[in-house]
Each structure stands twice: as C-alpha cells, then as structure tokens.
Amino acid sequence: MKIVVTGGAGFIGGNFVYYLLKNHPDDQVICIDSLTYAGNMATLEEALKNPNFFFEKADIADREAIYGIFEKYSPDIIVNFAAESHVDRSIENPEIFLKTNIIGTSVLLDACRKYGITRYHQVSTDEVYGDLPLDRPDLFFTEETPIHTSSPYSSSKAGADLLVLAYHRTFGLPVTVSRCSNNYGPYHFPEKLIPLMIINTLNGKPLPVYGKGENIRDWLYVEDHCSAIDKIIRNGRVGEVYNIGGHNEKTNIYVVKKILELLGKDESNITYVTDRPGHDMRYAIDPTKIHNELGWLPETSFDEGIKKTVEWYLKNQDWWQPIIDGEYQKYYENHYGKK
C-alpha cells in the first residue's frame, strides 16, 4: 500500500508517519509538506533513514506540484493533515487558512479524482462543532451536531470538510472524515498550550493563561489519534464522519498546574492575560460511533500521557530549542507582548 501523508513534518502528521512505519512496515509512506513555520525536518530525521519513507516538499495548494507527485508515486491512500492549525494565528491573519485548508484540500481532492485512489481521508477537528456551555456537562459533540464554527481556523476546517463530503456525493470519491479533540504528545509545536507551558516553565518565563483558565479541552494523546485514523482508513465506511476523543476533559488551569506539579515548580509564574476573542468554552467528544463500528478505544489516560509528554520535552531540548530561538521568537513577542 502506498500512503500519502500530507503535513507529515508537523505534530500529528509526524507522529502518524512513525505510527505507519512501525505498525505497517510493508507500506510505503510518502510525506508531502511545504515546511511552513510549523513544519520541521528534524521531526522526520529517523523516518528519512527508512527505505519505505519518501519526502516531497510541496504546497498542497500547488496543483502542478501535487499532480506531479501523484503521477510519480500512484498512491492508494491520501491522509490530509496539512493545514494551518493555530487559532490565534487565524485571528491575526485568516487568509492563509483559507488558502491551505480549503483550496489545498480541493487540489488534493481533484488529484484523487484525476489519478484514482482507494481512499481519501480528511483529518478534521471537533472545533467545527463550535463549543458547548460549561454548565451542561451532559452535552457532547456527536457526528450529528450541527457545524457552528467560531474562529477563522475552525471555519476553514469546516469548509474543507463540506467539500470532502461533497466530492463523495457528487463524484463518488471514496472519502472519510475524522473530527478529533485536542491532541498532545511529542513534536507538538511550542505555540500550543501544553508545549508552551512546559517550555516556559523550564525557562522560568510567565505562563500566559487566557481569561480565567476555565475553558475546557478534551485531551487525547497523539498516538491514540493515530491508531484511530489507521482504523478509519482501513475499515471505516466510505462517506462517513467519525468523531475521535477519549473523555479526558480538563480546564486549562488544571493542565497548567499539572505541568507545574510534574516539573516540581510552584504556581507563581501563572499570569492571567487578555482572553482570546471568540474563545470556545468547552469541547467534548462522544466517541461512541468509532468505538462501536471500528472497536477503537484510546489507550493512554491523561495522567500517563502528560507525564510522557513532559518527559519527552525534558529529553528533547535539541528539537525545540532551535524553534524557539528562530522565527517563532517574533511571533511570541508580537502575540504575547500585546496581552
């Protein structure tokens, strides 16, 4: 099987590359990534030593380049992780989100139609459902929850989902879509909550908590997301959407305090800063469908996963130090300097 993984130099795509190479050693994995600020070849260093792994630097919105790659490899399955993925950046500069997340997806879909594939899988997010109120812990996102987005990021992801499903209905393209809750684990880019708090704690810097830190996210260890996608691309029903999540709801402030506890630091660096505009209150996934249909269950509890993640960042300073010393510095100063 030849599997294209777009966005494989990023956080979840990179973890998925390693998941495939480990669990399906006979498959060939072709990574397409344009190496934006979030893409990092250091993440793929080990993969590049594997003869079944291939890397192509290309923008998914570049039709000619994408068609050329499809011609070269004739892939069977496409798993699209490539995206602009940070809500805060989408608030500052929405346009690139539309280009990559929507136009990029449309180019991949056209390539799939033109060259023929057995499965196109769109990696989407629970953020397309908007948010849930804090005072209704009985409510969860199901696959039937209406799309109701809050940020330019989630709107662009929702647009892409609709396009993917339309290509199934209109052209019969064999597609699936997954909508996952917040991931955490190795190779997570330092701008996101968990790595940011770990790295700032290690560097003795303030820990910027938006608003009151009461917002709830439903955290899933990245390897569990990978195992779910793997099940969907092999056994999921064509034309279907699957929610992925493991019932690990935590407030942001709980997560920050947990990281401090694991690193043996007090809470004096916690700093409450201006809230994110339009900030979603709570995400919570109902994963009944993927469990019943595909037998998927997460294996890593939050306590175990956050411990493994903190240990990974402690051991892998070589991976994140060059990131925070580089271009990222400017984003950080610009974004948090104003708060």
272 binds, among ligand TYD, ligand NAD, none (CB under 5 to 8 A by kind): none
Write the DSSP string, 166-188.
Answer: HHHHHH---EEEEEE--EESTT-
- Looking at the Cβ atoms of 12 and 216, the one nearer to ligand NAD is 12
Placement of tokens 């459902």 in the chain: 129
- Concerning whether 95 is annotated as a catalytic residue, the answer is no
180 binds ligand NAD (CB under 6 A): yes
Stretch that binds ligand NAD, among 33-41, 197-205, 264-272, 312-320 (CB under 6 A): 33-41
108 binds ligand TYD (CB under 6 A): no
Judged by CB under 6 A, the chain residues 59 through 88 that form the site for ligand NAD are: 59-61, 81-85
- Looking at the Cβ atoms of 154 and 201, the one nearer to ligand NAD is 154
Q: What contacts 129, CB < 8 A, 6 or more positions away?
A: 141, 145, 146, 147, 148, 179, 283
Residue 60 CB, nearest approach to ligand NAD (Å): 4
Query: How remote is the C-alpha of 95 from its chain's centroid?
Result: 19
193 binds ligand TYD (CB under 6 A): yes
Which of 126, 191, 224, 280 is flagged as catalytic?
Answer: 126
Placement of tokens 């509890």 in the chain: 301
- Concerning whether 153 is annotated as a catalytic residue, the answer is yes
- Inter-residue contact 217 to 186 (CB < 8 Å): no
Angle at which helices 222-235 and 11-23 pack, to 10 degrees?
60
> Which residue in the set 67, 210, 328, 332 belongs to the binding site for ligand TYD (CB under 6 A)?
210
- Inter-residue contact 57 to 21 (CB < 8 Å): no
Is 204 buried (19+), middle (13-18) or exposed (0-12) by CB count in 10 A? exposed
47 binds ligand NAD (CB under 6 A): no
Comparing C-alpha atoms, which of 101, 96, 95, 168 is closest to residue 128? 101
- Concerning whether 223 is annotated as a catalytic residue, the answer is no
Stretch that binds ligand TYD, among 106-114, 158-166, 171-179, 202-210 (CB under 6 A): 202-210
Site string for ligand TYD, 251-270 (x = CB under 6 A): -x------------------
Distance CA 242, CA 177 (A): 6
192 binds ligand TYD (CB under 6 A): yes
Residues noted as catalytic: 126-127, 153
